[in-house]
Structure 1
Amino acid sequence: MNRKNFSCFIGIDISKSNFYVAIIKDEGTASYVFENSKKGTNAFIRLLRNQRIDLEYTLMCMEHTGVYGRLIIAKLAEKQANFCVEMPVQIAKSIGVQRGKNDKVDAIRIAQYASKNYREMQLFVPIPQILEKVKILLKVRRKLVNTRADVNKYPNELELFSPELGKLAKNNHKRINRSLDAEIKRVEAEIQKLVLSDDRLNKTIGLVTSVIGIGKITALHFTIFTNFFTRYDNPKQLACYCGVVPFEFTSGSSIFRKSRIHPMANRTLKKHLHMSALAAINHDPDIKAYFERKVEEGKNKMLIINNVRNKLVHRVCAVVKRQEPYVKNVA
């Protein structure tokens, strides 16, 4: 973030029905509460105007709360305000030991966090509307796929212990499966229509899917979570975000554990990368040869698969940076 001379820091704690605001200025701290609605966000902007708070020299900070923060984020983006959306755990770990909590206190703590750490924080950049639409459809698709898996779980298990009853259950699930399959295909067709309607998105998906093992759904998740691959400085950062980079855990001479992947990662990207790695091992001759060689050396298979996931991340970053599709090595 540019080191502006911010004269005011505002912390916003958002819940489903309300959002609390804490304003830190030279003369002290003031707290307010507003309804989490268009009326409430407009009242908040009027308060700032009435108190002569210059948005250019004000930094606002809030926690990432998903859909609950959409109204206030949209309003602040409209007003071209300086604001950051931070992960709750980032704020909680940075302020040390705290006793007790409520929404008013949390808003003050968020404002204090912003005043101390603004030099390291990144201003919020909203993703384009086309990505917002695709993101919603991907969530709908995921729910349909999970529902289909749950529906089929019971008859499959029943068939193991009672083939006759399992067959009866499967026959009665066929209509549900056909309906779910049709809905999944309909959503996928709508996603494809959106992709084809945007030249930048269509080109990006084409580049990412040129990497062997990366499918269209995985490519879409990459594009959405990275905002067209702009939310990282290098492939190592993106690999860390995807949860495929192991970290050392040692201290002195008494604590020495195996390097492990940190649990704070994007689980959705990690899951899709795992499936992509398995596909690459089956269909990419170079990666297949690498996998077999490491297995012969006695390496753990999950460790090798994680290395393949890391390779895929680097390949994706390379094709996006060069704006050229991946070309398979030919002997």
Structure 2
Amino acid sequence: MNKFTHFLGIDISKEYFDAVIILEGKKELNNHNQFANNAKGIRELRKWLKEFNATSVNTLVCLEHTGMYGKLVIKHLISYEFSLWVEMSLKIIRSIGLQRGKNDKVDAFRIAYYAMKNQEEAVIYKAPRKVVEKIKTLLSVRDKLIQYRGSLSRHTNELKSFEPELYKLAVKHQNNTIKGIATDLKSIEKQLDLFIKEDEILNTIYTQVSSVPGVGKITTLTLICFTNEFSMYATPRQLACYTGVAPFEYTSGKSIKGKPRVNNMANKKLKKLLHMCALTAATYDPELKVYYQRKVEESKNKLLVLNNVRNKLIHRICACIKENRVYKIREVA
């Protein structure tokens, strides 16, 4: 017997959110309302739910990943002990099949219907700890600062070869900005180190993951943030799929026999970071260096071999987390 009888779908935008509740697991018994995306709106949502006897015990709430716009709704509903399922929008869209037209009310109903149909597969959302949210925010700011600094430097360096006079002018008026960015980046690094040092759980996970050769601080912290301290992925295969490393078969009957390949649906940021880790590991880790060189000598594609190295790194990381230990470098005979 399923736990939930009511299913609430929420479609969130910046200023308001639409809510549709399906009652008693019957598609035709549904009600719609719209609320402001603020604390008052969420209180009104609770009053509205009480009209249908929809409680935290009998109601499954489903919403899409919407970044910062959904933070307030998630925060308050968790504080009211509702079961939340925060799902990828693409999975909801593909599960519904061919659809014509859309609006916020229709989208909210589709989310509620998705929750009702797939409740046995629901992954109840676990809110990240405050320290993890702080680290994620700092990493985001760090990325933006690095991108902006790179954009300024590239533009100025292009002028150097063709317009020396304009180059000097540009340097004069952006030097302070670049120095300021460098100062902010150092400040972020210090704050990240402080978070790691002060939090025992975070420090343990960080020590275990970063003990894997090739995996640096930023990759470790990014993994911690996107996996919610490795609570969202139970196996290396799941993490490899999420980061776009796991290859999938591509065949159909006798006519289509493609080579196994990775899927484009992945966390591109983590994939890029793991690629840099693989390059480092293939250069400095004795075991992976021998593996990489052997495969290349066998005429294997270098990118394919590097993807295999990424996969090995993920397996090492997950093993360290599962077994609660640091990685021990194995000697190559």
Q: Name the TM-score class by shorter chain.
A: over 0.9
Shift of 1:171: 6.0
Match of 1:4 in 2: 2
Distance in 2, matches of 1:20 and 1:165, equals: 53
| Partners of 1:93 and 1:272 in 2: CA distance | 29
Structure 1 residue 64 corresponds to structure 2 residue 65: yes
Q: Distance in 2 between matches of 1:259 and 1:161?
A: 47
Q: Per-residue CA shift, 1:27-77, capped at 9, x if unaligned? A: 711110001111100110111223322320111111111111111101110
- Give % identity: 45
| Aligned residue identity for 2:223 | F
Please say which of residues 148-157 and 264-273 is displaced more in the overlay.
148-157
CA offsets, 1:197-228, max 9 Å, x none?
10110111111111110001100011111111
1:14 matched residue in structure 2: 12
Displacement of 1:161: 4.5
Q: Which moved more, 1:151-160 or 1:291-300?
A: 151-160
> Is residue 23 of structure 2 the alignment partner of residue 25 of structure 1?
yes
Given residue 149 of structure 2, which amino acid in structure 1 is its aligned partner?
A: R
**Would the aligned equivalents of 1:152 and 1:173 in 2 still touch at CA under 8 Å?**
no
Classify the secondary structure of the residue corresponding to 2:81.
coil
- Please say if residues 4 and 57 of structure 1, whose CA atoms lie closer than 8 Å, have aligned partners that are also in contact: no
2:120 partner SS: coil
SS state of the match for residue 154, structure 1? helix
Contact preservation (8 Å) 2:251, 2:258: yes
Question: 1:273 is paired with a residue of what secondary structure?
Answer: helix
Pairing 1:114-193 to 2, within 5 Å after superposition: 114-161=115-162, 166=167, 169-170=170-171, 173-193=174-194
Q: 2:267 corresponds to which residue?
A: 266
Partner of 2:232: 231
Measure how far apart 1:163 and its partner are.
6.2
CA RMSD between the two structures: 1.7
Query: Does the Cα contact within 8 Å between 1:23 and 1:29 map onto a contact in 2?
Result: yes
Q: Deviations over 1:120-147 (max 9, x none)?
A: 1211111111101111111111111111
What is residue 220 of structure 2 aligned with on the other side? 219
Which stretch of the first structure deviates more once superposed, 267-276 or 3-12?
3-12
2:256 equivalent in structure 1: 255
**Could you tell me whether the CA contact under 8 Å between 2:286 and 2:331 is conserved in 1?**
no
2:74 aligns to what SS in structure 1? Answer: helix
For normalisation by structure 1, the TM-score amounts to 0.95
- Aligned counterparts of 1:295 and 1:161: Cα–Cα separation in 2: 41
Q: Name the SS for the 1:56 alignment partner.
A: coil
> 1-side partners of 2:157 and 2:214: how far apart?
29
Structure 1: 5+ residue stretches without partners: none
State the Cα distance separating 1:114 from its structure 2 match: 0.8
- AA matched with 1:6: F
Q: How many residues align?
A: 329
AA aligned to 2:20 is A
Look up the match of 2:56. Answer: 55
Distance 1:250 1:154, change over 3 A: same
- Paired AA for residue 94 in structure 1: S
Q: Aligned partners of 1:118, 1:131: CA distance in 2, in Å?
A: 28
Unaligned runs of 5+ in 2: none
